[in-house]
Chains A and B, each alone.
Chain A
Amino acid sequence: MTTIAESHHHHHAPTGIKRWLFTTNHKDIGTLYLLFALLMFLTGGAMALVIRAELFQPGLQFVEPHFFNQMTTVHGLIMVFGAVMPAFTGLANWMIPMMIGAPDMALPRMNNWSFWILPFAFFILLMSLFMEGGGPAFGWTFYAPLSTTYSNDNTALFVFAVHIMGISSIMGAINVIVTIVNMRAPGMTYMKLPLFVWTWLITAFLLIAVMPVLAGAVTMVLTDKYFGTDFFNAAGGGDPVMFQHIFWFFGHPEVYIMILPAFGVISTIIPTFSRKKLFGYASMVYATASIAFLSFIVWAHHMFTTGMPLAGELFFMYSTMLISVPTGVKVFNWVATMWRGSISFEVPMLFSIAFIVLFTLGGFSGLMLAITPVDFQYHDTYFVVAHFHYVLVTGAVFSIMAGAYYWLPKWTGNMYHIGLAKAHFWLSLISVNILFFPMHFVGLAGMPRRIPDYALQFADFNALISIGGFAFGLSQLLFVAVVYKCAKGGQKVPAKVWDGAEGLEWEVDSPAPYHTFSEPPEVK
């Protein structure tokens, strides 16, 4: 016991700004990641509101088309790289060491570094909006040659920003892998890992595999624009479609990077509030691994209209359809976990149930999009926009909200204001569907995505969508209020906040002490 007492005496954490700048503590860094993600979520959300304000009525009212394109582009980049990914990294930082009984992440200094370069990346990206000619306006997918020959110098800033984000992600992923492989408590075998840890382990491998591909793509864009290469320039022997192959070879695993940890969070919460063990633990692990594998062989389903050989179209159609099998297994397992459980509806559970229903809706539209002949009709319409917002907002973002409401009492030691949190849930649930559900219809009716103005037959639904958008955006301020109040104080909670919860993180005090598991626990 002397070691524990000593570590308490030796703990001279700096205070103020220095505590946060120099911290190597996984909990501090987790907090930084989560707060940064929240800030970016609100920033990207504000841009979405600019888009929805412009699309409220047909005609150009508020912004010029060129600025509109900057908003769609930067909204996408911020939400993907600034909100969803850092939020999951934040959850990983906070929870993985506590879940596997490790004292910290394996590489704490690198952990500090991988967070602190992120604000600079987004500073560069956001500042590019103020340069002459504005920021990136070529879509978050930055297809060449729109992003090379036909773009202004924001391309350079965009490329540097993406490089920094990529380096940050890779370092974060290395840290996760090294931590999980080396620092599990004695007795914590792989098949005893909490599912959130498993999904993050697989996600980390995906990150290491594809972030360098993204780095390659942006570098080729940079050299095409500034150093006379012709990777994507047909006039010089290059191929603009090759850009899309490279981009989506990164891009498709990327979407699973944003959803696999969500599966982990949901697989943690559903059993807790069903008071029953997760159904089919092993098949959950195998399903996650299968999804990760399949994510590497489906990329060209984003490109069916680019002009592929028939054999290519058939291959990518079949492989994409296959993804619904392991994804289905996951949904079935969650439902089976709830079946004959003893269910209660605390806020994290509400978000998780909404996740299952709405993510599955997104999965269905995903299956429809996989069918190549019909995809020709859906491609680049609002149907696609509806699809990926269902899987990313009511999927990834709802799971992050669920995770935050699940672990917030553990982080702060206080229970949040449940009334406010429930209001946040119900307002979000209703408004998010007003926001994204009608997008299916305008898409099917023929409205292309990324347009600042539209034909009159789309007007009614667009007005409705915009109302939903503003309602959803404003509802998120409630989340900020809940988190703020909870950090300030509230009803004290015990170590095991939820009666049905299982896992090592519930064996430490609430709030979790600055250092946990200095001595590894024994896992039976």
Chain B
Amino acid sequence: MRLVKLSLWLLLSFPFLAVGTSQYNLPVGVTDISRDVYELHMTIFYICCVIGLIVFAIMFWAIIHHRKSKGAVPAQFHESTKVEILWTAIPFVILIAMAVPATKTLIAMEDTTKADLTIKVTGSQWKWHYEYLDHDVSFYSVLSTPREQITNQDEKTETYLLDVDKPLIIPKGKKVRFLMTSDDVIHSWWVPEFAVKKDANPGFINEAWTRVNETGIYRGQCAELCGKDHGFMPVVVEVKEPAEFDQWLANAQLEKAQAAAAEKASLDLTLSKDELMTLGEQVYMANCAACHQPTGMGLPGVFPALKDSPIALGDVKAHIGIVVHGKPATAMQGYSKMLSLKELAAVVTYERNAWGNNTGDLVQPSDIQESMGEAQ
């Protein structure tokens, strides 16, 4: 019986111990809302603890003192309208006490009006796309943890699985509104430190907002099962001082203009096979290998193989068309938004010449441009 008491004590005190080290509790976070949410969480947690302690104390008192082995004789009572009404009514009162602050916080969370900045967040298998509406800046944000760390060949870094190539950048102290949607399945955009989690539903737009009080880098993950690499699409947000943010935004716009110019210039390029294959391999590994596999073999029944496939060996234009525009009603998305003409040309060339697909076809940026033009 001592063992029971001890284990129960441990069980009940464990949460209290854990609260001390916030690493194992909900983060307090860096927004007013996240603080409110944390307070609410702790309040309800403590209420539950008190109720639990009282109920279990009574139960264990009975277990210890009203035992047959101690010669306890059973009482005869088996109902009491008074007591039963009382313990139906008391929980009602406690629930109302919980519901009031919860309702207040919820109303504040759902108020997406008067935003300073609006960012459209689009989930797709398995990356996030951020678009700063009204500022003509947009980019993809993809997991940047190297494959070797995931397969245990390299030492894992501190931010293992929580690193992206380009984080979302937002200004401190400004109300940022997010519009969530998806290109394929349902994803869910979540940053614990902001207390923002909202599903990205294909074909519909959801709203959420945050106002972050402290600069820094905040990490989260996709929260809704979205297929094979659901565990590998982190969310990283960098919060900057407003002035720095404006500078970053101006830079990003400049870079975008430069990229457009580079796209135009690339139309005149004729790249050698070596150049195309080297770049193509990089692009393939970063964007295509998750499904079609580094070997080009795909996953039978789920993702088709490219090695010896009729598409990679057949008509070049059809092949380019699928890479650029995707294939409707499948997991194959179009890459025209995500990759440059040069990268697209390289990856198609790579797919047509790697793994023994020796077609000898070279695809140039201008070929890609031509295909895009036709579709429009």
Q: Which residues of A contact B (CB under 8 A)?
A: 58-61, 65-66, 69, 131-134, 137-139, 143, 145-146, 149-150, 152-153, 233-235, 239-241, 274-283, 305-307, 310, 313-314, 317-318, 321-322, 324-325, 328-329, 331-332, 335-344, 353, 356-357, 360-361, 364, 367-368, 371-374, 376-377, 379-381, 430, 433, 437, 440-442, 444-446, 448-457, 461
Contacts and interface: CB of A to CB of B under 8 A. Distances in A.
Nearest to B11: A433
Given A314-B103, A445-B24, A149 B329 contact: yes
A357 B4 CA distance: 12
Contacts of B7: 430
23 contacts: A65-B231, A66-B228, A133-B302, A139-B225, A146-B185, A234-B203, A276-B76, A279-B77, A279-B79, A321-B99, A340-B62, A340-B72, A340-B77, A343-B67, A357-B59, A371-B41, A373-B40, A373-B105, A380-B188, A380-B223, A381-B223, A437-B11, A453-B231
B221 interface: yes
Given A132-B300, A361-B52, A335 B59 contact: yes
Nearest to B87: A332
B349 to A, nearest CB: 28
B45 A368 contact: yes
Given A344-B68, A437-B14, A441-B18, A240 B201 contact: yes
A439 to B, nearest CB: 11
B225 A143 contact: yes
A504 to B, nearest CB: 19
B223 A371 contact: no
A412 B84 CA distance: 39
B192 A234 contact: no
Contacts of A281: 78-79
A7 B220 CA distance: 69
B24 A332 contact: no
Contacts of A133: 299-302
B48 A455 contact: no
B243 interface: no
B225 A450 contact: yes
A507 to B, nearest CB: 21
B32 interface: no
B113 interface: no
A144 to B, nearest CB: 8
B150 A59 contact: yes
Contact of A444 (B25, B76, B152): B25
A342 B59 contact: no
Given A306-B199, A456-B158, A325 B95 contact: yes
B227 interface: yes
B69 interface: yes
Given A372-B102, A453-B161, 11 more contacts: A58-B160, A234-B204, A235-B203, A276-B75, A307-B198, A338-B63, A341-B74, A371-B40, A376-B197, A380-B190, A450-B225
A282 B79 contact: yes
B301 A153 contact: yes
A148 to B, nearest CB: 9
Contact of B301 (A131, A274, A310, A322): A131
Given A277-B78, A325-B88, A456-B156, A450 B230 contact: yes
Contacts of A329: 84, 87-88
B244 to A, nearest CB: 27
A61 B152 contact: yes
B25 A152 contact: no
A317 B100 CA distance: 11
Interface in B25-73: 25-27, 36-37, 40-41, 44-45, 48, 51-52, 55-56, 58-59, 62-63, 66-69, 72-73
A343 B63 contact: yes
B197 to A, nearest CB: 5
B62 A343 contact: yes
- The 9 A-B residue pairs with the shortest CB-CB distance, nearest first, are A133-B301, A234-B203, A451-B231, A132-B301, A307-B206, A340-B75, A277-B78, A441-B24, A364-B48
B66 A340 contact: yes
A280 B300 CA distance: 59
Contact of A338 (B66, B190, B221): B66
Contact of A371 (B27, B44, B80, B190): B44
Contact of B102 (A149, A317, A442, A461): A317
Contacts of B160: 58, 455-456
B111 to A, nearest CB: 9
Given A234-B203, A317-B99, A342 B106 contact: no
Contacts of B27: 445-446
B59 A318 contact: no
A189 B355 CA distance: 77
Contacts of B216: none
Nearest to B58: A335
Nearest to A366: B48
Question: Which of B76, B105, B227 gathers most chain A CB within 10 Å?
Answer: B227
A437 B55 CA distance: 20
Contacts of B58: 335, 339
A279 B58 CA distance: 15
B376 interface: no
Given A367-B44, A454-B231, A373 B102 contact: yes
Contact of B221 (A69, A277, A448): A448
Contacts of B41: 368, 371, 374, 377
A508 B59 CA distance: 33
Interface in B203-220: 203-204, 206-207, 219-220
A59 B157 CA distance: 12
Contacts of A240: 186, 201-204
